[in-house]
Amino acid sequence: MGGLPKAKIVSQTKFLTSSVIATGVDYVLYLLLDWLWFDPVTAHTISYPIAVVVNFYLQKRFIFDLKRKAHHAFAISMLFSVIGWGLGVAMFWGLVKLPILCDWPILAKIIVTGVLFFFNFYTKRYAFEGR
């Protein structure tokens, strides 16, 4: 029977779980910041990096086999996260300019989250495991 090896499925499931938790942190902060103080793009710009740090901790603790020194993995992970953050801010900014999404910025955030999920999985696996 073909398909993915069990270990890979478990790893991706754990990654999905940590991503859901970090995304929850991201969305709660985003909604709070957007509601209380900031415009949607600024709220996203602040909430995403905080969620990235939460996600790094969860990934280090529960998902990836650390095959580098922790501070090296953190530096590489944060570098990829900064790239992802920049891509996300650019995508978010562009999407909220579209007439269909300008009144519903949360939908733009959902789209950006979906795109960045795949970018993050492969770059974080490289950061932790070197592959």
94 close to 58: Cβ distance less than 8 angstroms: no
The per-residue pLDDT for 83 is 92
pLDDT-derived band at 104 (thresholds 50, 70, 90) equals confident
- Among 110, 23, 17, CA closest to 59: 17
| Structural domain spans, the chain | 6-129
Q: What mean pLDDT comes out for the span 102-120?
A: 86
Residue environment code for 26-43, b if the CB has 16+ CB neighbours within 10 A, otherwise e:
bbebbeebbeeebebeeb
Orientation of helix 70-96 relative to helix 105-129, angle to 10° = 160
Rounded to 5 degrees, what angle do the CA atoms 88, 93, 97 make?
145
The per-residue pLDDT for 71 is 85
pLDDT-derived band at 24 (thresholds 50, 70, 90) equals very high
Q: Which residue has the tokens 């509601």?
A: 35
pLDDT-derived band at 5 (thresholds 50, 70, 90) equals low
| Entry pTM | 0.68
Percent of the chain scoring above 90 in pLDDT = 16
Mean pLDDT (the chain, rounded):
84
pLDDT at 33 over 90: yes
pLDDT at 1 over 50: no
